[in-house]
Structure 1
Amino acid sequence: MTPAQCRAARGLLNWSQQDTADAAKIGNATIRNFEAGRSSPQNATLDVLQRAFETAGVEFIPENGGGAGVRLRKTSP
């Protein structure tokens, strides 16, 4: 996950940095510093963060020539 994907995922869910930290059970400073590019969290922290977003309905789109991204999971009608 990139800092931009983190910001975009929060935007899709309308989550604040604190909402995200609470959902992932990590510190708010971790989110703030990661998104600002001031730090790179441990892989385990990024995994927890990504799982929190995925549980809430975000899908991560890998780099495939068109750029990495995020989207909301399609729900059944």
Structure 2
Amino acid sequence: MASSAMNLILERIALFQFTPTHCAQARGMLGWSVEQLSREAKVSVGDIQRFEAQQDVADEVRLALTYRFEAQGLVFFPGFAPGRGGNMRESGSVEIRGELAMVE
């Protein structure tokens, strides 16, 4: 299990790498509507719409979206469209924290 400091670093990286454009692109790749992403990530439709419109949302919302997409095997890098990673569920353990999941 990663230390608290390592978790904080990983969360900061996820927040830096995941952009509003990534969110819309990832939804498109998965064929998900805003409503479906809302159900999957357990965040409000309004939060998703605000984020994709490049308005401020809480870090917890951004992390929930990032982790939900990563659980589907997507990876995010600044300046690039989302890509398909390896099978995330088989490549590492999944830590559940509240309503968020993080691959370690």
Deviation, structure 1 residue 74: 4.4
Aligned to 1:48: 64
> Aligned to 1:29, which of 33, 42, 46?
46
Deviation, structure 1 residue 60: 1.0
> Aligned to 2:83, which of 67, 71, 76?
71
Deviation, structure 1 residue 68: 3.7
5+ residue gaps, structure 1? none
Determine what percentage of the aligned residue pairs are the same residue: 30
Give, in whole Å, the separation in 1 of the partners of 2:75 and 2:48.
19
- In structure 2, what residue type is equivalent to 1:58? L
2:34 is aligned with 1:17: yes
- In structure 2, what residue type is equivalent to 1:45? V
**Aligned pairs, number:** 70
Q: What TM-score, normalized by structure 2, do the two folds share?
A: 0.61
- Return structure 1 stretches of 4+ with deviation > 4 angstroms: none
Q: RMSD across aligned C-alpha pairs, in angstroms? A: 1.4
- Larger Rg belongs to: 2
